[in-house]
Amino acid sequence: MIRVGINGYGTIGKRVADAVRAQPDMEVVGVAKTRPNFEAQSAVDKGFDLYAAIEERKPRFAEAGIDLAGDVEELVEASDIVVDACPSGIGADNAGMYREYDTPALLQGGEDAEVVDSSFNARSNFDTVEGDDLVRVVSCNTTGLSRLIAPLQEEYGIEKVRTTLVRRGGDPAQSDRGPINDILPNPVSLPSHHGPDVNTIFPELRIDTLGLKVPATLMHMHSVNVTLESEPSAAGVRDLLESEPRMFVIPEWLGLDGAGAIKELAQDAGRPRADIWENCIWGESISVESGSSSIRADGEVVSDLYLFQAIHQESDVVPENVDAIRAVLGEADQAESITTTDGAIGLDEPLVRR
Ligand SMILES: NC(=O)c1ccc[n+]([C@@H]2O[C@H](COP(=O)([O-])OP(=O)(O)OC[C@H]3O[C@@H](n4cnc5c(N)ncnc54)[C@H](OP(=O)(O)O)[C@@H]3O)[C@@H](O)[C@H]2O)c1
């Protein structure tokens, strides 16, 4: 069994802890938090050993009547690998601790790419991270884009990607985030950081991204244009995407008209926390504009693919973290790991059965 420590038990950490526990080849050594609150109590209720992330705050746990198993350093030492799911920037601060205990660690998408040895997406570069000490599982948006880009590039070739990311203002519990009633170009300068982040997975890819923030908490929405180096039919692209793991191509008849309806479907399907681990692509949005106007001067035929996809920011990176554990430790190949991960958490059960 691979012994996994989880440092940071919030939105991402608690989901990764449950997903790791579900795997046949992994066990959770424990989880670390800085303070006793409802998430600390929930960790205890679930039977996870709880470790103190900050030594001086240990008395607070005692006052709240929550037993600790030890300090975070002990968790790191006892683990074969740590998933660091602390708030952005803290993962970088923790890097020295992981190196000191010679424990490989996975950081999350809020950390800068420069902090780590490599960046990871299971579909796109599983085989490149084995043996690395610090690996970054890229952000929810970059994960969603990478899953889409990999098969398109392999099948058709990509000349350029242009994507507008309409991003949720905050997660459902983040009452301090906004906007409350506005639409923000964010960042205002172009390109947004998302394109360069995708380049940590696809270094040669030409990609421009624009970002906005809106008063929503449910999901992100991507409006995607990919100039392909060939001229497939829309039906062909749809077949390709339907054959991919972690892709939900939404059939027209479902009547899912937005992120709210997708979340409702996930609740009805009994998904834990109404999580949607897959990219959600509206089937009828998959369009290919081609024809004579798209023949370049050099005779090369290109075409423009357009589609909308929704990304559940709280959960799409969860199976990616599980795969990254096996990839870093060299415990499975890509196909084996993805199949095992998805089977163990129920991601192989489609949201809709036909
Ligand atoms: N939420 C998303 O949509 C999303 C999506 C993809 C990637 N990410 C990335 O994932 C990472 C975590 O994000 P998140 O949304 O899960 O954050 P979060 O909900 O704020 O959870 C982070 C947890 O870490 C704990 N923490 C704070 N300081 C710590 C420390 N020094 N040591 C150990 N634990 C500490 C916090 O709890 P206590 O202080 O109460 O212990 C909190 O529960 C970030 O890099 C983020 O960019 C987030």
pLDDT, one tens digit per residue, over 292-335 is 566 677 778 899 999 999 999 999 999 999 999 999 999 999 99
pLDDT at 301: 83
Task: Find out whether the beta carbon of 316 lies less than 6 Å from any atom of ligand 1.
Answer: no
Does the CB atom of residue 53 touch ligand 1 within 6 A? yes
Give strand pairing partners of 214: 168
Q: Answer for the pair 132, 117: CB distance below 8 angstroms, yes or no.
A: yes
Q: Distance, CA 85 to ligand 1 centroid (Å)? A: 5
Give the largest CA-CA distance in the chain.
74
CA distance 4 to 325: 8
Positions marked catalytic: 140
- Give the per-residue pLDDT at 160: 97
Q: What does DSSP say about strands 81-84 and 70-71: parallel, antiparallel, or unpaired?
A: unpaired
User: Distance from the CA of 84 to the center of ligand 1, in angstroms?
Assistant: 8
Mutate to test the pocket of ligand 1, among 7, 14, 18, 33 (most ligand atoms within 8 A of CB): 33
> What is the pLDDT, as a whole number, of residue 353?
83
- Does the Cβ of 11 fall within 6 Å of ligand 1? yes
Does residue 208 have its Cβ closer than 6 Å to ligand 1? no
Q: Is the CB of 7 within 6 Å of ligand 1?
A: yes
- State in Å: Cα 30 to ligand 1 middle: 16
- Tokens representing residue 29 in the block: 């050594």
User: Which residue from 74, 108, 167 has its CB within 8 A of the most atoms of ligand 1, so it is best to mutate?
Assistant: 108
Whole-angstrom distance, CA of residue 323 vs CA of residue 211: 28
Return the residue whose CA atom lies nearest to atom 15 of ligand 1.
11
Residue segments in the chain with a per-residue pLDDT below the cut of 50: none
Of 86, 88, 217, the one to substitute when testing ligand 1's pocket (max ligand atoms within 8 A of C-beta) is 86
314 CA to middle of ligand 1, Å? 11
184, amino acid identity: L
Residue among 89, 57, 93, 51 at smallest CA distance from 72: 51
Give the tens place of pLDDT for each residue, 218-238.
999 999 999 999 999 999 999
CA-nearest residue for atom 34, ligand 1, is 8
Report pLDDT for 293. 61
Check if 109 has its Cβ closer than 6 Å to any atom of ligand 1: yes
Ligand 1 mean position, distance from CA 143 (Å): 18
Q: What is the pTM of this model?
A: 0.97
Could you tell me the distance, in angstroms and rounded to a whole number, from the CA of residue 86 to the centre of ligand 1? Answer: 4
CB 324 within 8 A of CB 122: yes
110 lines ligand 1 (CB under 6 A): yes
Contacts of 193 (CB under 8 A, 6+ apart): 187, 211
Query: Does the beta carbon of 143 sit less than 6 angstroms from any atom of ligand 1?
Result: no
Ligand 1 site, residue 321, Cβ cutoff 6 A: no
Which residue type sits at 161?
Answer: V
Give the three-class secondary structure for 222.
strand
- The Cα 237–Cα 152 span in angstroms is 8
